[in-house]
Every structure is written in structure tokens, then in C-alpha cells.
Chain A
Amino acid sequence: MATIRKSEKKGMPELSTSSLPDIIFMLLFFFMAVTTMKEVTYKVRILPPAASELQKLENKSLVRYIYVGEPMKEFRDQFGSATRIQLNDQFADVNEIETFITNERTAMKEEDQNLMTVSINADKNTKMGIITDIKQALRRAYALKINYQALSRKSY
């Protein structure tokens, strides 16, 4: 007679976890390769505009960023809610941009200096007045290669 006999003490064979570190290391290397370090901590809130004809920014070491947007909640008391500019980790004024660019450029290797790109990373609700001021400052600093950061979208 066929009876299903319960195994007394067999149980499941133990799962081998010896390859787990290798798997996790693989994941780790994958993430290290495809991601980049955060450039700065944002002090301004930025929702980039959307556009369809985007180009990738090449050679990150040649790119300097200018952030434009409303200050984050925790800075509201100190700086108000008007649109501000952030350079590196600090709030800045339009007339500081020229010095900032000049300093950044002198810090670069000489052969890279003309290749510097300035990326304007602004909130989509920013008024053009401040952007125009930044552009004029960049012209005066001879940083003529600029890039407007945007998110990609299909078409309308």
C-alpha cells in the first residue's frame, strides 16, 4: 500500500549563502559604474523644464553648474522665498558669478580652459529676468558655452 511517509528528521537541505557576497559585490560595482557622486546639496528647489531636443553633457569635469530656484523650506526664514542663485554650496548674487567662473577656470588645466561649459540648472517657473542677468554675467566672464538643463519629453 502506498503511503506517504513523512521523513522524520530530513528537513530541507540548507541553502548555501556562500555566493551571496559575490552577488552583492556585483550589484555594488554596477551601481558604482552607472551613478555619479552628487555634485552638491541643493539649497534651492529645482524642477527642470522639459524639452525634446536634448544633448548629453559630455565630460563632466569640464562642466560647472549654476542653480537657480526658490530657497528650500529650511532656508526660507533666512533668505525669503524669492528666486535665488546657488553656486557650489552657497547662495550667491548675480555679480558673484563672474568671479566664480574666473576662479573655476583658473583652477582648470590650461588646455581645458576653453572647453569649459556652464550648465544653467533652473526651475521651470523662474522668470527670465534673472536668467538674462546670468547670461550677461557669463558673457562678461567669457564663458560662452552654456547648457540649459532640462528633462526629456516626447513631443506635445
Chain B
Amino acid sequence: MARKLDQINASSMADISFLLLIFFLVTTSMNTSMGLTRRLPPPLPPDQKPQDVDIKKRNIFVVKVNSLNQLLVQGEEMDIRDLKEKAKEFIANEHNDIHLPEKVAKEFETLGVIEYTRDHVISVQNDVDTQYQAYIDVQNELVAAYNELRNELSELKFGKKYEDLEEKQQKDVQSVFPQKISEAEPKNYGGSN
């Protein structure tokens, strides 16, 4: 006579899986790694003194942040909210102002001939006592300025946003507006001591 197979009691399965679920909830965290990506300049050779690179005055955009988190942009005090517009004006130099960086014409594969400010540099200088948040704010506004300019150019040339462009187009737009944010050698100035 065929014996009926005993069924495995599965009622505790729910408890076991609950236990596992709770274990994973406790030991893991949601993926929250977001940030501003930057590239540092390579180190100077140890025997070399930091020297001021010869950059034409009109090509450099200086942002200083003091120990009280106040901004000095191109020699004048400024609110962080106005920094993006000012930076965009500097990078794009739409009206070929002689006080803003010089423009160079170059032909790009996907964009055609474009005049752009090849040699511009944005220099961010901060004090030892500057708050980290203030520094991030400045970096953020500068990156935002570049992103907006890239988007504007993409809309104008291709009618699409920068991130929706093809790789080649993206590369060309990027070389028209390369992120040139230099972080100077640390020096102490203004505010404290």
C-alpha cells in the first residue's frame, strides 16, 4: 500500500523570511552616494616653489571666500545667489567685452565653427576658517553655471538637453565649455589672524 508522503510544515517559513528581512533592513542603507566630482591638480615637485602662472588678467575670474563665508568676486562683494549669473557672463562673454576673456574660433565636428573662451580660468580661493558648506555652495554655483551654458548651447544647436545628446555631440559641447575651476595653492589671507 502506498504510504502518503508527509507534507513539510511550512508555517514557520514566514517567520524565517521575516527575520531575514529585518536583518537586511537593519544592516543595509539606501544608496545615497551623491556628490560634486572634482579633479585635483597633480602635485608640484618637492623642490619647486609654487609660482604664479602667467595668465592674462582678463582671462581669470577670482572668487574668494573669507572666514565669515562672504564672497569677493572679481574684487567686489557679492551674494552667492548672483554668482552663477556672473560666472556665466564671464565664461560665455557673449558681447566680446574686452574685460572678459578673449574668444578663439575653432571648428568642431558636430557644432561647426564656434567662438569660445578657450583660456579662461576660474580660481576659487578660500580661507582656513571658511565653512565647508560655503565652499560647497561656491563650487556648486560654478558647476551650475557650466551646466546651464552647456544646456543652452545644446538646445540652440540640437534642440535637446545636454544629457540627451549623442556621445560625440556631448564631447564637443564639453570642449566648448570645459570646467576650468582651479583651486589655488592654499594661502592665508583676510579675516582671521
A residues lining the B interface (CB < 8 Å): 17-18, 20-21, 24-25, 27-28, 31-32, 34-38, 49-57, 60, 63, 117, 119, 122-129, 131-132, 135-136, 138-140, 142-152, 156
Contact = CB atoms under 8 A, between A and B. Distances in A.
Given A124-B133, A125-B133, A148-B139, A38 B29 contact: yes
Given A17-B11, A24-B21, A49 B133 contact: yes
Contacts, number: 155
Contacts of B32: 151
Interface string B1-45: 000000000110110111011001101111111111111111100
Contact of A127 (B25, B39, B130, B137): B130
B24 A32 contact: yes
Nearest to B16: A21
Provide the main secondary structure of the chain A interface.
Answer: mixed
Interface residues of B, number: 48
Interface stretch (B53-61, B105-113, B140-148): B140-148
Contacts of B39: 144-146
A119 B27 contact: no
26 contacts: A17-B14, A20-B14, A27-B21, A28-B17, A28-B24, A32-B28, A34-B30, A34-B31, A37-B27, A37-B28, A50-B133, A51-B36, A53-B140, A53-B144, A55-B35, A117-B37, A124-B131, A131-B135, A135-B183, A139-B43, A142-B42, A146-B37, A147-B36, A148-B36, A148-B139, A152-B34
